[in-house]
Chain A
Amino acid sequence: MFRRLETGARGRVTVNVDGRPVEMEEGANLAAALLEAGFSPFRTTPASGAPREPYCMMGVCFDCLAIVDNVPNRQTCLERVRAGMTVEIQDGAAAVAKAEEEL
């Protein structure tokens, strides 16, 4: 489990994470706040449905992708926590299956 060494001076806001309210520090790195909240996995792969979590934390690996405010493929390691934000797991394999069904 990830934990925070010290509680920051920043205000706390509520973020909706997969349908449940989670308190986070406003302006915190979103991927870090999600790891701290135990959000796992962040996404599943389109190829095999394998679960993924942040790997690089610097914007190169794209394993921290999630659906943020209804927009898919957001790199959560490059986002900051804002009040009222929603975050959902990005289910890659399910999205591919759904698109195939629609075809």
Chain B
Amino acid sequence: MSDANCVDLAIVGSGPVGMAAAIAARRHGLKVAVVDEQPAPGGQIYRDVETADAGRGAILGADYVAGRSLAEAFRESGASYYPSATVWRLASDGLSWSAPAGGGEIAAERILVAGGAMERPFPVKGWTLPGVMTAGAAQILLKSEGVVADDAVFIGCGPLLALVACQYLNAGVRIRAILDTTPPQNRMAALPHLPRALAAPGMLAKGVGMLARIAASPVAVSRRVESVELMGEGHLAAVRWRDPQGSHEIETERAFLHQGIIPNLNMTMAAGCRHVWDERQLAFRPETDVFGRTSLAWLLSAGDGAGIAGAKTAALSGEIAAHAVAYDLERLDTPSFEAATRLPLNARRRELALRPFLDALYRPAQGMRVPEDDDVVVCRCEEVRRGEIARAVAEGCPGPNQLKSFTRAGMGPCQGRLCGHTVVETIAALTGAAPEAVGYYRSRMPVKPVTVGEIAGLSFENNLREKSHG
């Protein structure tokens, strides 16, 4: 392997974590490579921030535009950057990536997984229909292309749903309706966390501002929505829902779903580090120390991929993880390490003050996470419905991994990303076991689908290294 492909730190992902980590690691003189599936840096939160013009910046807001200076510093950091490259294997010796025009390998002393978050599955009737996408997907279309849809129905709960609705209002795009599925009891549950949240700089005011913006708009908002059904033959045609006022239905060709975000787990799961169930965030996450070190010495994970905390926190966590790598590789002595991490650790503590309040206020409803209707598709790829999972469990299927052989759930191209948490919580609800005890799908390499040719193309030298490790 050529010298250029041997680094101290390989970073998977160039969102706020990856960019901030690369900048900090380069400052310590580390050799850094950053590999990202997207063609430009920014992650999903700052997607295409380098090319968005002033008009789009005005629609998306100041928090989005703030990503530009981070992307600039990242470009100038001296880290090797591999865009449009999908990492499909990572191990103690390094990682393998693939791209349409070929792939490669990078040997690394440490790997930082900065894979960010994905939207929580929203398993309701009809969620696989064309015309239905996530609110995050709608926002990506707006961020990267300025592409929007008129008369869509926004459905769900969480800050992102309100943010995308506000961005649509800023752009002058008509919204047909907003169906708020936030359980009403969440307000009481969130109240004890409010005093601490008030200490978080600016964020609460931003949230209140978004809700006021929506309330002042002509958009019809239905609250306390208890059930949602997306209807149509071959394409979405109508949304039906139930709230305390009764049953309602409106015609629409577009619906945007959202009920929070969860860590993008496949990379850390496949690497084999320890994961824990986070009951406050209703998701698995890799177990890490405050610096991002996982249970594996060569692997770190930081940002939303290690537990949802938002973009500002993610950048701080990326910086902190880079300091830890420099320290662990003996490029920093203890006093310098403590000095370097003091400010970002304190800043992160302030940012995190809002999180318990947000997690409680926007905890998604059980009925929207764990379907009770046997007809609801849980695994989108293999079209496995809730009823088949219930039957498998009744026949003695003990967990998610066995469910694969019972039903094929989790065995399609998305590799369980879109059904994992639904399967865990459904099995937990059916058996009475805790999600932690149910466990998650065992992910394996390749982390993303690749051709057999790419696996065969692994360098001989690297195979030898793996054997000598094993």
Contact A62 B147 (CB under 8 A): no
> Please, which residue of chain A has its CB at the minimum distance from the CB of B48?
A29
For the complex, give the distance between the alpha carbons of A41 and B137 in Å: 17
B56 cross-chain contacts in A, Cβ below 8 A: 5
Contact A56 B382 (CB under 8 A): no
A36 cross-chain contacts in B, Cβ below 8 A: 145, 147
Contact B418 A58 (CB under 8 A): no
Contact B147 A3 (CB under 8 A): yes
Most buried by A among B37, B84, B100, B130: B130
Contact B137 A52 (CB under 8 A): no
Contact A35 B141 (CB under 8 A): yes
B398 cross-chain contacts in A, Cβ below 8 A: none
A55 → chain B, closest Cβ, in Å? 5
* Interface residue count on the A side (C-beta < 8 Å): 40
> Please, which residue of chain A has its CB at the minimum distance from the CB of B384?
A47
A3 cross-chain contacts in B, Cβ below 8 A: 147-150
In the assembled complex, B287 has its CB within 8 A of some CB on chain A? no
For the complex, give the distance between the alpha carbons of A56 and B414 in Å: 11
Known contacts A55-B137, A61-B380, A62-B381; A6/B55 CB under 8 A: yes
Size category of the binding interface on chain B: 35 or more
Known contacts A28-B145, A57-B140, A61-B417; A78/B131 CB under 8 A: no
In the assembled complex, B171 has its CB within 8 A of some CB on chain A? yes
Interface of chain A residues 1 through 50 with chain B (CB within 8 A): 1-6, 8, 28-29, 32-33, 35-36, 40-41, 45, 47-48, 50
B449 cross-chain contacts in A, Cβ below 8 A: 73
B146 → chain A, closest Cβ, in Å? 4
Contact A62 B146 (CB under 8 A): no
In the assembled complex, B393 has its CB within 8 A of some CB on chain A? no
For the complex, give the distance between the alpha carbons of A52 and B127 in Å: 10
Query: Could you give 5 example pairs across A and B, Cβ below 8 Å?
Result: A4-B145, A28-B145, A51-B235, A57-B141, A61-B417
Closest 10 CB pairs of A and B: A57-B137, A53-B130, A62-B413, A57-B140, A32-B145, A5-B146, A47-B383, A62-B414, A60-B417, A32-B147
